[in-house]
Every structure is written in structure tokens, then in C-alpha cells.
Chains A and B, each alone.
Chain A
């Protein structure tokens, strides 16, 4: 209980108060020239207008947009035993799917779909890409287990990341992806088969639903995103 309360309190809004005001002539007599104080334009004598410039752009690059999954602040274990937050994956195009390693029916096919997508991406583009497999069974799928699963399925390369969360963080993550799942027995889940593509800012761009479906659109989305 203490932990949940603490997490509540840490969410108080933080705002960068030191945003610099920048002024510019509304007629742009001197082109893009800007001033750091209010005044009038030396050419046309009009009052300089405050503008929102570069600062916001810089902010955009560092901060996280409203629709980004990087707003989720939960901590995850990777298959390498590291602790990360989703934001640590920033800067790469993300292809995400929810699976569990004891799955016999759909997951092998979902995993095959992921590998199939990977095979269609050229080597140099793989650097800008991360395939992320999130376990819906955090109790069973420990770091070690995920690592073994990765090796078994030839998904142990740099571009593959496996994540173990907690029941609560997995539930939250599934809800962000609109993935539905239900525990049927201790080692078996029923779940939606959805592969989601996020841009490097963590914004959802494309979702592919179903098993063994034509992944052309998904691949095209990835190619577009990795080109930028």
C-alpha cells in the first residue's frame, strides 16, 4: 500500500518553468532573426511579437508526447536480467507483441510472424529497429526463461528484447495495446493476437490483428518508419 501511495505522489505535474521567451518582427523584416527581449523592429518599427520557436522543438525531442507508451513508468526485466523502462527503448522503431513462453497454440505462430517480418527488413535497417516480446505471464516468464526461449527460437540477437513485468504493469500495457487476455489454467492463456508497430517516439502507428495474416502493411509501415 505504501508503494502505491508513493507512486501516486510522484506523479505531480512537473513543468519546465525556464522556457525562454523569444521575440520576432511580425513582418520578418530581418528574416528569421530573433530577439530575446520585447521591443520594436529596427526596420519597420513594429512591436516585436513573442514566438514559440526552437525551444519547443528541442522539448519535443526530449519530452514524450501524450500518446506515447513512454508515459508508462513501470519497470521491466529484460531477458538479459537488466531493469529498464519503456522509455529506454526510445529512438528505435518498435514492433511489439504479447506472448507467453509456455504457450503451445498461437504463440509459436505469432513468433513465426515476428521472425517473418524481421526477415523482410534489410540488415542496416535492423539497427533502427527493436522487436519487443512482452510476457503476459510474468509469474512464469522470468529473465532466465525468456533468455532460454530467445535462444531456442533463434531470437537472441541485438534486435530482440523480451520483457517481464508485474501482473499490474502487464495489464496496463495490454490495455494500452487493446490486447485482451485471460488466464485459463496456470500455464495457459487465451489472448488477442496483435502485433503493434510504434515509431521512435513510442506512438502507435499500426496494428496487425490475427495469426499468419498478410504482413505486407506491417512491413511497409516499418520500412517507412526506419527510413526517416
Chain B
């Protein structure tokens, strides 16, 4: 009897590892400490282990979501949670416009919608620190920020027009096995509102109120990392109900140990 119970426990553990260790469509990201562009007082931040979606959420996937949760359909979403551009490239509640591809990343999406999507899959949005941690990898190195080619490649994308209409998974995956962090669309993060570098923040934020203008650049730990600087600037200017053409999302999941 005892051995049977024991083997059941073992089986459960194996099963659980299988269930939670690696979820379909996600890869395991081993946490670490690193120096982001804007950390807490520009110090090293710690990222715990987590799983990340390999691809950004696509139009097709979001369609399945709104079929199940009608409150996020284009005509039913309430104004508190999304502005007028929400799903602006959809013909109606359940159909994309003809020009759009089901395998393009979903965009015109608000933070509230993205957050709920992830929660309904038992996941969540990544934090800024988590997203940036995975995004500093190129095809071969997990921290490629020192390579000139890394920044050049990302900046080349920032110049390319209408990249939101491209399909997922067409550029090479990065060293973690994650696709399209750069190259298609910007992505929502859970705590995007922790980035305090907006124009307003000079007057309405208590930290260094008079120095804020200059401190935005002085804070940057890596002045070469202009691409990341742009991402933080965008996050700082976003409001949660904004829905933009080039802003999508992907989810992550904590690892239950």
C-alpha cells in the first residue's frame, strides 16, 4: 500500500513537471540577474524562471478568444477598456478585413484586452524586465547588446514600414527559441505604466521633478542601446486603453515549483 502511494506521488510529480514545466507553444526561460536600460535606480534586476510564448498572439488566436469571450468583441468592448481604434483592422466582431492575414500578430489591442487574454489562458503578460531580458538575445547569444549588429538589426526594423502586416515566425528565432520579439510589432507589458519618462512626468512625478528632462538620458545605463531607449519611450507614452496598429502582445507563465 505504501509503495503504491509512493509511486503515485512520483507519478504526480513527473506529471506536474510535464504539465507546468513546458507548456505547448512556450519555451523555458532561465532567470538571471541583468542590468536593464531602466532598472530600479539603474541597478541590476532579477528575473525568475518563466515560460514565454514562442510567438506573438496572432489574429487567428485572438478571434478564437473573442468567440469565447464576447465582451472583447469589437462592438461590445466598453470604452473604459479600449479606445475607438480597438481591432480597427477587423471587418466586424468576428471577421478580419480581407487585407489582413490570420497569421499576422494581432494589433489594435488594448492593455486590458491583452491582460485578460493571457489570464484566460492561465498566463499573464510579461513584465518590462522579463520582456527586455529575453529580447536582448540575438540568434546565438543570450545577451547580444554589446554586438553592433544587434542594435543595427533592430533599428533597421524600426525604419521598415508596415511590419505589422508580416507573418509570425518568418525571421530566425533568438537564442532562447523565441520568435519575433523584434521585427514585427511592439508588445504590451504588464507593468508598462512603471516607465516614468513621459513629458508629463517632469511635472507630475515626485522624483527629481526639476531634473527630469535631463535625467531621462542620464538614467540610461547603456547609451548605445538606442533601440531599447525607444521601447521605453513608447511604453512611457502609452495609456492602457490605447489600441495601436503596431502594438501587439504575447504571454508568459510563472513556473510552479
Contact = CB atoms under 8 A, between A and B. Distances in A.
A193 B200 contact: no
Contact of A191 (B81, B115, B195, B205): B205
Contacts of A174: 193
A5 interface: yes
Nearest to B118: A4
Contact of A13 (B40, B71, B201, B241): B71
A193 B206 contact: yes
Contacts of B81: 71
A105 interface: yes
B80 interface: yes
A11 B113 CA distance: 13
B204 A176 contact: no
A184 B80 CA distance: 29
The 4 closest A-B pairs by CB, nearest first: A106-B206, A175-B240, A182-B194, A66-B78
Nearest to B209: A211
Nearest to B194: A182
B190 A171 contact: yes
Contacts, number: 96
Given A5-B122, A13-B70, A71-B80, A209 B196 contact: no
A181 B190 CA distance: 13
Contacts of A182: 40, 191, 194-196
Contacts of B201: 180, 192
A209 B205 CA distance: 9
9 contacts: A5-B120, A8-B69, A66-B78, A67-B79, A67-B80, A71-B81, A72-B80, A193-B205, A193-B206
B79 A66 contact: yes
Contact of B194 (A66, A106, A180): A180
A172 B81 CA distance: 10
Interface size for chain A: under 10, 10 to 19, 20 to 34, or 35 or more residues? 35 or more
A180 B195 contact: yes
B80 A7 contact: no
Contact of A193 (B76, B78, B204, B241): B204
Nearest to A7: B119
Interface in A1-25: 1, 4-5, 7-8, 11-13
Given A8-B120, A175-B111, A192 B69 contact: no
Contact of B71 (A11, A175, A194): A11
Contacts of A67: 78-80
Given A180-B198, A182-B194, A184-B40, A175 B206 contact: no
B142 interface: no
A172 to B, nearest CB: 8
